[in-house]
A and B are shown apart, each in its own frame.
Chain A
């Protein structure tokens, strides 16, 4: 059974779901979706494989895996009644990830994507806005890694540098700033970007540990 948008709404969260009317139909912005939600949805065809670009998430199962993780977060933009047209995913870093050395201090916004068919509606901003409203993030160094090989430069008709600027402006609105690191994937290309937001309750000592970790020095 396909749920209606009203069924999808749930007030039991810090940032409630809300819908907005757009020139491309009614869109529901739903933060922190429950794992059982995804089986009743479908992915828009603007998320998928393209000649120069592939979506990070191509199966609904992947949403469920993230939502089931400890403190995993999946926020969705859903075109009424059941089409996923955008998503924002957050979770702790993988165990083999450099940033996992700092335990639960580090929290990754692992993916943010809007369907090619629904860009220009500020949905990325709205998804981030709803995701980042939680007090949870004040105890975290929240980070995002932007790799140019994941960017839809063709679809956006932007150069790597222009796309990087777009990311900086978008995440900058939520208190993120670029930091440098010698992490090999980030360092591979200058347009790649790591941005962080330091929560209000993160200690100076923890920030210094993270700074050293960025340059390959593990915390003692």
Chain B
């Protein structure tokens, strides 16, 4: 299914954007992308890809069978404007589940780029035969992403109260959302 990429979308302002998997050649541009994420948001990254050495190691070990990283890049200047990672599992008991994380450059957050990336992830997960997609969001920080996920039929499945601490020591809830992919017959 990776042969389906790149996939084109057009943002609300008419910018042509391509979605495609990350390759080893994207390190420099990904460094720039993460460096332009506000510091107060970088704090919440579970995998510190905003640190060049961590990103370098991560790129060196790209393995699409474990993590499928998709980027959105402007077609005109190849600037990366969003990044989504679909984490897959090897253990048979959770082979049917994927975890997604998404981050959009601040300048493109009102352009629905994140929504298209999540939709692309849902379709890819379906094509892979996954049955559930799980997304975790920090309450009060990623509310726009939560709203985008709700529009794509993600449901609140749980809350880990005060699970996340920000750089000022303030606690935030972690919202766990699930998108079931194995719906049966049409309900129309």
Residue B120, interface by CB 8 Å: yes
Residue B119, interface by CB 8 Å: yes
Complex interface residues of chain B between 14 and 63 (CB less than 8 A to chain A): 14, 16
Residue B168, interface by CB 8 Å: no
Specify which of B16, B120, B152, B181 is in contact with A161 (CB 8 Å cutoff). B181
Residue B7, interface by CB 8 Å: yes
Residue A117, interface by CB 8 Å: no
Residue A125, interface by CB 8 Å: no
With the chains together, A165 CA to B128 CA distance in Å? 9
Do B126 and A161 touch across chains, with their CB atoms under 8 A apart? yes
Do B10 and A179 touch across chains, with their CB atoms under 8 A apart? no
Residue B182, interface by CB 8 Å: yes
Complex interface residues of chain A between 146 and 180 (CB less than 8 A to chain B): 148-149, 151, 153-154, 159-161, 164-165, 168, 177-180
Do A161 and B127 touch across chains, with their CB atoms under 8 A apart? yes
Query: How many A residues have CB within 8 A of the partner chain?
Result: 25
Which chain B positions have C-beta within 8 A of A161?
Answer: 126-127, 129, 181-182
Do A160 and B119 touch across chains, with their CB atoms under 8 A apart? no
Residue B122, interface by CB 8 Å: yes
Which chain A positions have C-beta within 8 A of B4?
Answer: 177-178
Specify which of A53, A164, A211 is in contact with B16 (CB 8 Å cutoff). A211
Residue A212, interface by CB 8 Å: yes
Do A153 and B184 touch across chains, with their CB atoms under 8 A apart? yes
Specify which of B10, B120, B181 is in contact with A214 (CB 8 Å cutoff). B10
Which chain B positions have C-beta within 8 A of A20?
Answer: none
Do A159 and B16 touch across chains, with their CB atoms under 8 A apart? no
Which chain A positions have C-beta within 8 A of B116?
Answer: 180
Which chain A positions have C-beta within 8 A of B11?
Answer: 215
Do A149 and B186 touch across chains, with their CB atoms under 8 A apart? yes
With the chains together, A211 CA to B10 CA distance in Å? 7
Do A217 and B14 touch across chains, with their CB atoms under 8 A apart? yes
With the chains together, A164 CA to B124 CA distance in Å? 11
Do B185 and A154 touch across chains, with their CB atoms under 8 A apart? yes
With the chains together, A151 CA to B152 CA distance in Å? 21
Nearest CB in chain A: distance from B175 CB, A: 21
Which chain A residue lies CB-closest to B122?
A190
Specify which of A160, A164, A211 is in contact with B8 (CB 8 Å cutoff). A211
Which chain B positions have C-beta within 8 A of A212?
Answer: 10, 14
Which chain B residue lies CB-closest to A192?
B123
Residue B9, interface by CB 8 Å: yes
With the chains together, A161 CA to B127 CA distance in Å? 7
Residue A191, interface by CB 8 Å: yes
Do B123 and A190 touch across chains, with their CB atoms under 8 A apart? yes
Do A164 and B126 touch across chains, with their CB atoms under 8 A apart? yes
Nearest CB in chain A: distance from B113 CB, A: 12
Residue A65, interface by CB 8 Å: no
With the chains together, A208 CA to B10 CA distance in Å? 10
- Taking Cβ atoms with an 8 Å cutoff, the residues of A that contact B are 52-53, 148-149, 151, 153-154, 159-161, 164-165, 168, 177-180, 190-191, 208, 211-212, 214-215, 217
The 7 closest A-B pairs by CB, nearest first: A161-B126, A149-B188, A215-B10, A190-B122, A149-B186, A52-B185, A153-B185
- Taking Cβ atoms with an 8 Å cutoff, the residues of B that contact A are 4, 7-11, 14, 16, 116, 119-120, 122-123, 126-127, 129, 152, 181-186, 188
